[in-house]
Amino acid sequence: MKRFALALLLAPLVAHAQYPDRPIKLIVPWAAGGDTDVIYRTFAPLMQKHVGGTIVVANVGGASGTKGAKEAKDSPPDGYTIFAVHDSIHSTYYTGVADVNYHDFEPLCLVSATPSIITASPKTPWSDMKALLADAKARPGQITVGATLGSTSHFFPAMVEKAAAIKFKYVSYEGTAPRMNALLGGHIELAESNLTQKGKADAGQLKFLAIASAARHPEVPAVPTLKELGISVEYAVNRGLIAPKGTPAAALGKLRSACGAAAKDPSFAEAMKKHGTIVNYLDERGYAAFLKDNDAQNKDVARDLGLLKR
């Protein structure tokens, strides 16, 4: 009887020590083939080496990335669901697209930052950003921009609109992959992209008009910054990992440690360079502060653009 009672007392400790004892689901709230998907399919194998278990990437697209966010929020907080998030968790909340925000989760770590680029279809007549701006002023509301409404691909060109005193016409797409396919096919004229599309730009399949980084990027030195052109916009898509609120401390500790080790792996930095992405690691405390600051900035942008719903 005493042995049975002792076994009952020790059972939670044994189970706890075995975490993870089944696969961990990493929810990517966008379609396969998009930037977030590509980044985390590179990151997951590195992270699982350090967490001691399998991490399975699950694409849960739809509703501007909010279907996956809701699934992540509603998942049991047991350490077996983590969520690949970027700035859209703020923008979709403040524009009223979603009722999920970063307060519903525990921060694991910030992983990367990807500078945004104003990118045009090869079928457009513009040879540079100045030509686009002149055309946009001559034809307000007629130049088509592909975007996932309420997400980063919407906020970035909207910020350019405001700073340059121009007006675009938005066409909705769910995620990067379908948006880029539409741009490549000439079904839209503009979209937000990044250096993952450099090969296509080099081949003349796309046009890089301006980058939203602080200085010209060494991979595309001929592409001017928006600030050079008098457009005061600096923007990047920041990606990190979070877990449902209430996830056990021990599981969080293991996930955070594995997240940090994977982000610091030299092979990850090398792979990200090919995707035009900067490794921008922050631990859970730094990431929590980053999320708070980024949330406030996105609220301000939504207000400035007349999109604030909360």
Whole-number pLDDT of residue 64? 78
Which stretch of 69-83, 245-259, 271-285 has the lowest confidence by average pLDDT? Answer: 271-285
Dmax over Cα atoms in the chain, in whole Å?
A: 86
Is 26 in contact with 56 (CB distance < 8 Å)? yes
- Asked whether this chain's domains 2-114+237-304 and 117-229 adopt the same fold, the reply is yes
In this structure, the chain runs to a length of 310
Axis crossing angle, helix 284-304 with helix 152-164, rounded to the nearest 10: 50
Amino acid 12: pLDDT: 46
Cα–Cα distances (Å) from 33 to 37, 110, 280, in that order, read 6, 21, 22
pLDDT at 289: 98
Give yes or no for residue 8 having a pLDDT over 70. Answer: no
Is CATH 3.40.190.10 what the domain over 117-229 is classified as, yes or no?
yes
Single pTM value for the model:
0.84
Asked if residue 9 has pLDDT above 80, the reply is no
92, 150 Cβ separation under 8 angstroms? yes
Q: Indicate whether 11 pLDDT > 90.
A: no
What is the arrangement of strands in the sheet containing 278-282, beginning at the earlier edge strand? 55-59, 24-28, 81-85, 236-244, 105-115, 278-282
Mean pLDDT of the chain: 92
2-114+237-304: CATH topology is D-Maltodextrin-Binding Protein; domain 2 (3.40.190)
Q: What is the pLDDT of residues 89-140, one digit of tens each?
A: 999 999 998 899 999 999 999 999 999 999 999 999 999 999 999 999 999 9
Domain boundaries, the chain: 2-114+237-304, 117-229
- In whole angstroms, give the CA distance from residue 109 to residue 91: 20
Amino acid letter, residue 310: R
Q: Percent of the chain at pLDDT above 70?
A: 95
Q: How far apart are CA 149 and CA 34, in angstroms?
A: 16
Structure tokens at 306: 């007349």
In this prediction, residue 137 carries a pLDDT of 97
Residue 10: pLDDT band (50, 70, 90) is very low
Instruction: Identify the bridge partners of residue 83 per DSSP, sorted by sequence position.
Output: 27, 242
Q: Peptide bond preceding 221: is omega within 30 degrees of 0, i.e. cis? A: no
Q: What is the mean pLDDT of residues 6-18?
A: 49
Q: pLDDT digits over 175-229, tens only?
A: 888 999 999 999 999 999 999 899 999 999 999 999 999 999 999 999 999 999 9
Confidence (pLDDT) at 258:
98
Q: Are 304 and 297 in contact (CB under 8 A)?
A: no
**pLDDT level of residue 17 (50, 70, 90 thresholds):** low
